[in-house]
Structures are given as structure tokens and as C-alpha cells.
Amino acid sequence: MTGVGWIPLIFVTLLVIGTIGLGFYVQRSVRNADDLYVASRSVSVPMNSAAISGEYLSAASFMGIAGMVMKYGYDVLWYPALYAAGYLFLLLFIASPLRRFGAYTIPDFAEGRFSSPLFRKIAVIFVLVIGLFYTMPQMKGAGVALVNILHTPYWVGVVLVGAVITFNVSLGGMKGITFVQAFQYWVKMFAISVPMFILFAVVGGYSGHMKTFGNTGDEGKSLPRFLEDTTITYKPMLPANEITFPAGTTAEFSNGAEVAFLTVKPIAEALSKPENLILSVLPEQTKVRSIAGKEVDFYVFQAGSSITIKDPISIGSGDELKSVPVKITVFPAEGNEAVHMLYPKGEIVPNAPMDKEWMEPYGPFTNKYGYPLLYTYSLIIAIICGTAGLPHILVRFYTNPDGKTAKKTAFWVLILLGCFYVFPPIWGALGRNLVPQLYAVTGGAFSTDSVVLTLPRVLNSTMPYLGDILSGITSAGAFAGFMTTFSGLLVSITGALAHDIYGNMINPKAGPGQRLKAFRISAVCGGLTAVLLGTMVENFDINMMVGWAFAIAAASYFPMLIVSVWWRGTSALGAGTGMLGGGLLALASIVAVMLADKGWLPSLSVFFAANPIIRTLAEQPAIWAVPLSLSLIFIVSKFTPDSIPTDARQKMLVLHAPEELALRSEYIKEQGAAPGAH
């Protein structure tokens, strides 16, 4: 892609200007902590339903689901199904009780439920961890979107969006972002649906494109092919520079490259030598690089040289022939910043799964380490339980007037989310047929994560400017996606820093003016941290990172909330031990996977490669971390009855009794004259 996308830029600029304008408009009515933290508890059901939906529909929903469906196929339909289903769990078990308690933040609830200031400190840790983890995919979406529009470096989009949202949150807090999020839900709904209907009218419907999968080739083994001569750029960044070539594929190194041939099953060891895998002549010049802790030989290909994978390759004894993929990793030739590879029109696209794998469950996503059922169930637990443990979503129920409206809000959120999630998988399916070149990049800005931004441009060849207009609409929707979610996350992070840490631990006697100032300073600190982390995750899939945030929430906040809301015998020590045990272990396993995939811990990469079941449990830890956390809560609570609050019965009554009984006023207001003073 070359040239600035001026039409998408105009759409995005208008959205950003409107967002900032709303922030200034609402800022005039922000006068106290109630406005900043819970929007004065006066948000109506329609407004709050749209705002929560807008906040929940992040970059993962708008860009990530479509990208993962295109990349892995219908194996990942669990994501949109569970993102919506998780709200049903929240509706049935948590929304109303949580609102009846009447706090500002989830750490408020934790301290109030267990009469333990220490518990607030534990709860704050996970607000920050979950919030910062969830900001990373939003920042990735921002970087990808701006690269597609302006072709700027990836980090520019991260910094720009981070600055705009940090500015907005510091101005208006929860009251400011509520109006923005409600408006931007409808922007996202329009942007994901209307361009798709126009695409249907021009390129054909969903069912027609699905019929092409598996109808060519042997038993669904057909693969997408380039629709035109295409040059793909590979940065020296693992795993984005790893390419899986199907047998028979040819590509040219336009500016040269250093190439290593990686071990690919089921090639016999004797046949895995590079000279047995390719038709091209191997260059004589070689060099040694360290990859994942191993010394690997790299062949130095000159500019203009090409590589062709053998088809078929003989495997085993006798005359058995089988087509197998060949995996390589490429680094730039000396003096270059990236590798440019030219794929001729009609060539098979590398990195793409076969039609049969793409269309069936337990495919290339969940089966990538050989344990698809384990991977699938762990993902289900992470998203269902994680939805009920996301602090930035839970805190929105405090903006409702009472528990009854909180439950109505959760119900309508289910409807709004269900309408939205119909569309992203369709984008992924059409992307496989119409923009297959996105498969060729395994990470970075022009990978499958950009399919929603790239697909509309196929119309430019027959209907000039229409594709750019539709791409502008989807670009605005993408910006709305990560801007609204980042707004909610930043309010949650800022609340933890300003209200829980500063207002309750550092300076409980702070006046209203000091608290407002602390909120705005905390917003800037949280925004800067999110931007820094966002610049480091360019080579991770958006939805994968969101899944990790859900897994941490499922292993920490969800067990604490579900047990403390419904079991009177929960002790403060038990709830705290469960949160720390399950949450920290889930966090450690996910961080280990990220460090291994970034190539920063080579020995860990080798260990994961040799132990695929451990890699599966580390990448998707919910299946063991959630039961561990729940078990710790129950066991420790049984052995520590002294740390059960003496007024536990009264608190349980407040959580579950109808509001009409008026058993207790807002928790926050009972703790002192200043809001949040305990």
C-alpha cells in the first residue's frame, strides 16, 4: 500500500474532533468526585446500555474478531459468542448486588464487604494489572489503524490515541466519557454493518463466498492465492518474520535477505535439510544467528534471488509422496531495515490454513499445540468468567440509580452486543477470499487484524472512491472501538490511583479540590504507562491479548466477587488469598508466554517448544487458575472464621434485598464527609 488515505483520514479526524469537543462540553458540568467516578449515579438505562456496550466493544471486537476469523477460521467463533454470553452471567449473578452496595470502585466494594483496608490494597493491584493488560490491544489497534491510513510508524498511532483519550478522561472523568461511549457505540454499529451490506451488493453475499471454500483441491486442501503481484515487507521481529510456505510456493527477495529453515513436522530429519526442501540453489554465503537460545545457520540471499518450495516432498519409505509446508524466518540483508518479498499473481499465499482446517472446529488456533479440547475449554472459562471480573465494566453499574436499573442495563447490553457480533465473522470470511495477501504477514500493521480497514478498498478498482469512503467509515469505527474502551480502562486505572491509593491510603483527608487534581494527574500517569506498553506489542494478535486480560480477571476478581456476593462465610483472608493465588499465577504464566514469544527469554522458548501441554496451560491459564482461586477462597475461609466480618449478615442483606426496603444509603457516603474518605 502506498500513499496517504485522505478519505479515511477525514473520517477519523472528524471523530477525534467530536470526541474532544464532547469532552470540553461535559467538562463544564464536572464539579465533584461523584461526577468523576460514577457520573452522579444518574445515568439512564438507554444511555448506560449504549455506553457500556460502547466501552465493551473494543479493538478486539471491531478489528480482532474479524482478523482472527480470517486467520484461523471458525475455530475462533468462541470469542464473539462468549463475549456476549459473559454478560448473561454478569446479569444473573453480579450486576444488581454490586450496584446495591453503592461504591465508587471495585476496591471500595472489597474493603466495604470485608471491613479490611488491607483488602483494598490487594484489589487495587488487580485493577491496575487487568486495566493495563487490556489497554495493550487497544493501543495495538490504534497503531494498526494509523499505519493503514497514514503509513506512519506503528508507535505514532499509539501515542496519538493515548494523548487524545488521556486528555478527555482528565477533563471529564466518568461523566465525560459516558456520553462519548454511548455515541460511539452507534458509530461502531454503523461502521461494522453498513459497509458490509454495500460490499454484499457489489462482490456477492456471505453464503456465496463460503461456497468457494473446499470446492477446489483435494478434500478441502485448497489454499488462497494472490489476486495480483504483491510485495510484502517483513520486519526483523519474531514471530512476524516467520513464514510458512506451502509446497510449490515461489517468492522473490526484492532487496535480499538472510534466511533460516526451521524444523517443520512431519518432514523426516534426513529430508529437513534446506537443499532437500527447495528447488532453488542455496547461496554459498552463510552466517550464524541466535534464535530462541539456539545457534542457527542463515543463508544470505542476494537481491533479486528467489525461493521455490518443492512439491511434493518424499516422506518415509518407498515412493510415498506428501505435500508439506516449509517454515523459514527472514532477517534483512546487511544495510537494510526490512525484507521485501515479491509474490507473483496466482501464487499460493503463505501462512494461510487450508480450507478444511479453516472451516472446522479444533483447527489451527486451538490445535496449534496439539491439545485443542483443553485449549477450547480454558478459553471458554476465561471469557465467561472474565467478563464478570473486568473492573472497568463492573464500575459502570455504579452509575445507575439503583440495582433494578443496573439489571435492566445488563439485559439491554446483551441485546446490543448480540446485534454487533453478527458482523465481525462475516468480515473475516470475505477477507479470506478478497484480501488474501493479509495472510502473508504474521504480525504487524498489515496482518489479518487490519481486514476491516483493508477489505472495503477492493471496491476502488470498479467504483473509484467508494472503497475509500467505506474504509473511512470502518476506520472511524475502529478508532471509536479503541477510544471508548481505552476511555473506560483509563477511568478505572485512574480511579484506582486517585481514589483508592491517593484518597484512601496516602491522603484520606484530602479536600475536593485536591481529589480533582489527583484524578487528573493520575489520568496522565495511567495514559503514559498505557502508551509505553502499547509500543511493545505490535507482533501480538489483538484478540489474544484481550483473552489474556480476561483470563487474569477470571482468576482474580471473578472468584472474589461471585463468592463474596453469594456466600456469607467468605473471610477477608480467604478472599484475599484466592485473588492473589489465582491472579498472580495466571499473570506470571501469561507474562512468561509473552516474553518467550518476544524472544526475550530464549531458554523459556525452548522449554515451551519441548512441552506443548505446558505451553497450552500457560497461554490459556483459566482452566486451572480459576478453580485454584475458588478452592483457596473456600479452604482458607473455612480455616479463618475470625476474619469473617461481624456484620456479614447485614451486608448480605444489603446486597440482595430489594431497594424498596431502603436498608442502607450509599456505602461511599457513610464513610465520611468527603467522598471516598474512609
What residues does each domain of the chain span? 6-202+360-538, 230-351
Q: Give the integer Cα–Cα distance in Å for 407 and 96.
A: 6
Continuous segment of H or E residues that includes residue 148? helix 117-150
Rounded Cα distance between 669 and 99, Å, is 14
Structure confidence at residue 443 (pLDDT): 66
pLDDT in tens, 340-399: 999 999 999 999 988 888 988 888 899 989 999 999 999 999 999 998 888 777 776 666
- Per DSSP, the three-state class of 19 is helix
List Cβ neighbours of 328 (8 Å cut-off, separation of 6 or more): 242, 243, 245, 259, 260, 261, 262, 307
Candidates 443, 300, 381; CA nearest to 627 is: 381
Please check whether the domain covering 6-202+360-538 is classified as CATH 1.20.1730.10. Answer: yes
Strands laid side by side in the 339-343 sheet = 230-234, 339-343, 250-253, 306-308
239 prior amide bond cis, ω within 30? yes
Cα–Cα dist 616/349, whole Å: 27
Cell of 114: 470485608
| Residue 498: all three cell numbers together | 486517585
Residue 69 contacts residue 197 (beta carbons within 8 Å): no
Q: Compute the distance between CA of residue 300 and CA of residue 244 in angstroms, rounded to an integer.
A: 19
Q: Check if the beta carbon of residue 167 is closer than 8 Å to that of residue 20.
A: yes
Burial class (CB in 10 A: 0-12, 13-18, 19+), 607: middle
What is the H or E stretch that residue 172 is in?
A: helix 154-203
Rounded to an integer, what distance in angstroms lies between the CA atom of residue 428 and that of residue 434? 10
Q: What is the Cα Rg of the chain in Å?
A: 26
What are the residues facing 301 on neighbouring strands?
257
Q: Which residue has the cell 464487604?
A: 113
Alpha carbon distances (Å) from 571 to 27, 359, 493, 602: 41, 48, 26, 42
Stretch (H or E) spanning 261? strand 257-261
Q: Which residues, 6 or more positions from 287, have their beta carbon under 8 angstroms from its beta carbon?
A: 258, 297, 298, 300
**Residue 13 near residue 166 (C-beta atoms within 8 A):** no
Q: What is the pLDDT of residue 630?
A: 96
Q: What does the pLDDT read at residue 40?
A: 47
pLDDT at 672: 39
CA–CA separation, 227 vs 439, rounded Å? 13
Give the Cα separation of 466 and 113 in Å (integer): 56
224 dihedral zone (left: phi>0; alpha: psi -120 to 50; beta): beta
> How far apart are alpha carbons 586 and 588 in whole angstroms?
5
Q: Quote the strand ranges of 262-363, DSSP E.
A: 286-291, 294-301, 306-308, 313-314, 321-322, 326-331, 339-343
Q: What is the mean pLDDT of each run of 10 residues along the chain (678 residues)?
A: 71 82 64 49 75 83 90 90 82 77 74 85 87 88 83 86 80 64 88 94 84 61 89 82 86 92 62 76 87 82 89 56 77 90 92 88 89 94 89 70 73 89 93 92 75 92 87 90 82 81 82 81 90 87 87 93 91 92 95 86 83 94 96 95 88 80 53 37
Give the residue carrying C-alpha cell 506503528.
154
Pure H helices in 268-322? 274-277
Read off the C-alpha cell for 146.
Answer: 494509523
Edge-first strand order for the sheet with 242-245 is 242-245, 326-331, 257-261, 294-301, 286-291
Alpha helix (H) residue ranges in 391-444: 391-394, 403-420, 424-434
Give phi and psi for 508, each to the nearest 5. -60, -20
How many helices, marked H, and strands, marked E, lie in the chain? 26, 11
Specify the residue for cell string 461494522.
192
Q: Are 497 and 522 in contact (CB under 8 A)?
A: yes
> How far apart are alpha carbons 245 and 358 in whole angstroms?
17
User: For residue 308, which phi and psi values (nearest 5 degrees)?
Assistant: -130, 125
Amino acid letter for position 117 = P
